[in-house]
Amino acid sequence: MSFFDLPDVFGGGGKPKAKPKAKPQAKPKAKPKAKPKARKKSKVTRVPPSALPLLAAGGGRMVTAGRGGTRIFLEGLWLLRSGFEAFGEATVLFDAKRRRVTLVLDPKIAEALSSDASTQAVQKRVSGKIKRGQKVPVIDIERQGLSTILGGATELVIQSRRGQIVITPSEAEIMAKERVQAKPNNYEISLYSGAGLLSTAAHQAGAKPVLAIEKWDRAADAFWATHQAPVIEAGVEAVALGEASDPGRFALPRNPWLLTAGVPCEPYSKLGGKGIGAVDPHCLADQVYWTLLVILRTNPINILIENVPGFLKYAGGFVRALQVLGYHVHSTVVDPSKLGYAAGRERGVIVATTKAGFKFPPERAKRKGQRPADLLLKPDSPSLFKLSERQGGWFSTKAKAGLGKSMRGWLERATWKPVSFEYTDDRVPAITKNMYKGNPQGPYLRHPKKRDLYRLLTLGEIERVHGVPTEAARAIFEAGEGNYNLITQLYGQGVHVPLFREIVARIPR
């Protein structure tokens, strides 16, 4: 006989008898449908099953008793499958050191587990109730100080095997409580730090850079020269895996006030990875997962992630993970040119905070001195005619070689047009890291009178448009050893410093 043939499960066996046909009755007038009452949210938090159950995991709940104590209430046939029969005996072990409550059937195992001084053992009788003809086990654990043993958690994880049930608090909830109770600090750690412009913005907002993880040696040199803070010159994946196998190996600070990360943008960029993100087999497409592992290891109080706007299309899983960890998560695309600045480089930004109340800066009119004409050298400045075309000097589309010839060809072909702008424009287009590399991507500034003349921006102009302070600009120049291509790569992977300083300053403290 199979389980589904048991008569005591469904209240009877065999075929149901046919009911006599009822006489047709006149249909009553339809009553107007009443609006459904809004369901009250239960204060009881159901216990989620373990992510890795040993045999079975079941439902239960943790509620606060009337006299101020705490209780755990477990019920269901899953208890029966774990060996806990109704009206049987079990030993309950309370382990405050490990934040664990264990139910054991075998007295010898209970004796062995209770040998630790931090563990207290109590005998418990399993009660039960009859449901559909079956005895269903019920375990009601009530003890003064139970909430303290479980770290004040309201969400529990249950793991069960034959003859043993282990109850522990939700790790996500414990991490969230740890952040709230953490000792106040202003530390900032940076992943994929680049030349450290994101850390510069954080520093201007009151944070103290204490650690960076950066693989590129030149960027690591620029960070060190600017912030005088330790740099782990390795990939974030190496640090994440090293900490997973050997906790404390890299001495990552716990609960820093801010973790910043400029996750590599190539998999999500229209230029680098064709904007296909999560399905892109790009060699950098895994970096967001290593970032999450470092977040789990450090449990920062606040997080700031910046990337290309396309990153936000594929960051749903990452955002959800941060929400599970208890963060208030905010994301948007910021454009400095719409927030009062001259730079027009859009960035996708994710801000995760422990405290609620964060808001991104609102759009506003241009600030004084933040139009392109205010930040760029005058068209007839003598220095522009002394610089080479690769350093920001003017070149003509009538030229027979160099950028002039290339520009003429680009303008004549319809397949691709270089990015160009005017002194009278409202914004400076995005400055890319390949601005001086090979056939530069631009942007190109056009002469207001001599219309055949174009030029790239000078390093000083890039510095002013990005809002980079002098000491950071000097560190970047020295790290690039005067090589314009290397220097613009360092700038191109950076951020608009004043805007991100404003974003960091808005994070609740």
Same domain, 335 and 186: yes
pTM of this structure:
0.80
Per-residue pLDDT reduced to its tens digit, 156-191: 888 988 999 999 988 898 999 999 999 999 999 999
Per-residue pLDDT reduced to its tens digit, 271-301: 544 544 445 555 567 888 999 999 999 999 9
**∠ Cα 195 197 203 (to 5°):** 125
Same domain, 151 and 192: no
Cα 59 from Cα 77, distance rounded (Å): 10
Same domain, 58 and 90: yes
What pLDDT band is residue 458 in, cutting at 50, 70 and 90? very high
Same domain, 215 and 262: yes
Q: What strands lie across the sheet with 420-421, from one edge to the other?
A: 395-396, 453-455, 444-446, 420-421
Please name the amino acid found at residue 396: S
**Percent of the chain at pLDDT above 90?**
50
Largest CA distance in the chain: 106
Same domain, 110 and 226: no
* Residue with tokens 């450290």, as numbered in its chain: 196
Final residue in a domain of this structure, among 169, 192, 215: 169
Final residue in a domain of this structure, among 147, 169, 191: 169
Cα 457 from Cα 279, distance rounded (Å): 35
Cα 213 from Cα 242, distance rounded (Å): 13
Closest to 205 measured CA to CA, from 475, 432, 495: 495
> Cβ–Cβ contacts within 10 Å for residue 89, how many?
12
Separation in Å, CA 220 to CA 35, 228, 475: 63, 11, 11
Q: Which two tokens stand for residue 422?
A: 């005017």
Same domain, 351 and 451: no
Cα 470 from Cα 316, distance rounded (Å): 38
Closest to 240 measured CA to CA, from 287, 206, 274: 287
Q: Which domain holds residue 300?
A: 178-366+495-505
Q: What is the CATH number of the domain that holds 339?
A: 3.40.50.150
For 182-286, where are the alpha helices, taking DSSP H only?
197-204, 217-227, 236-245
* Predicted local confidence at residue 84, as pLDDT: 94
* Predicted local confidence at residue 423, as pLDDT: 95
Cα 221 from Cα 227, distance rounded (Å): 10
**35 is a domain residue:** no
Adjacent-strand bridge partners of 161: 164
Please name the amino acid found at residue 302: N
Cα 269 from Cα 118, distance rounded (Å): 54
Per-residue pLDDT reduced to its tens digit, 99-118: 999 999 999 999 998 888 88
* Predicted local confidence at residue 293, as pLDDT: 94
Q: Is 82 or 42 the better-scoring residue by pLDDT?
A: 82
Cβ 328 vs Cβ 355: under 8 Å: yes
Same domain, 207 and 336: yes
- Tell me phi and psi for residue 130, to 5 degrees: -95, 125
* Predicted local confidence at residue 494, as pLDDT: 73
Average pLDDT, the chain: 83
Same domain, 150 and 213: no
Residue 207's region, left for phi above 0, alpha for psi from -120 to 50, else beta, is: beta
Same domain, 194 and 126: no
Helix or strand or coil: residue 508? coil
What pLDDT band is residue 335 in, cutting at 50, 70 and 90? very high
